[in-house]
Amino acid sequence: MTRTHATTPTGSRTTTTTRAATRIATAAAATALLALTTTACSNSDVDKAKDKAASATAKAGEAVSSATEAAASKMAEVKDGVNAKSDVKVDGPAKADGNRTTAKITATNSTDKKADYAVSINFRDGDGNLLDTVVLNINNTDPDQSKSGTARSNRDLSGTPKAEIGKALRH
């Protein structure tokens, strides 16, 4: 490597390799500062996004909790109800209906008398997380006959939720 010498304005001598090293160090420091500034900005944005996501998750959790409590309360109102989960099924996949999700539910009366059904339906995401719970009443189902109704979510559900029978009471 060839070293050339130059005189600085103060009269001291420096080599081009030293100047090149200084330039590289200055560029590296500027790059590091830029990276830190960008990271700091990004971390702030990430923190804000995390806060918004946590808030949305909390609100969704509260909505699910509220819907679950309301469904449990409605199911508790059923007098002399008998477990009839085996009489009830979800017909096909849940479907979007406007901003809500719906599922066709069919009850087959396995008794020799007319029956009414109170059915809680859970809507779950692909990971199995509970998104919403609703109660559907299917009334006046003749003996040995089937009757259907449509369960409709209480709120907007994203993705492709799956409907499942939570509890079914024949009364």
As a whole number of Å, the end-to-end CA separation of the chain is: 96
DSSP element (H, E) containing 152: strand 146-152
CB 79 within 8 A of CB 105: no
pLDDT at 62: 58
Q: What is the DSSP letter of 80?
A: T
pLDDT of residue 95: 96
More confident residue, 118 or 25: 118
Q: What is the mean pLDDT of the chain?
A: 76
Q: How many CB atoms lie within 10 A of CB 139?
A: 13
Burial of residue 123 (number of CB atoms within 10 Å: 0-12, 13-18, 19+): buried
In this prediction, residue 48 carries a pLDDT of 53
Q: What integer is the mean pLDDT of 124-153? A: 96
- Is-contact 88 135, C-beta < 8 A? no
pLDDT at 162 over 80: yes
Integer CA distances (angstroms), 95 to 48, 67, 117, 126, in order: 33, 19, 22, 14
| Predicted local confidence at residue 122, as pLDDT | 97
- Condensed to tens digits (0 to 9), the pLDDT of residues 71-107 reads 888 888 888 899 999 999 999 999 999 889 999 999 9
- Report yes or no: 112 and 135 within 8 Å, Cβ to Cβ: no
Give ∠ CA 34-37-41 in degrees, rounded to 5: 140
Whether 31 has a pLDDT exceeding 80, the answer reads: no
The 10s digit of each residue's pLDDT in 33-59 is 444 444 445 555 555 555 544 444 445
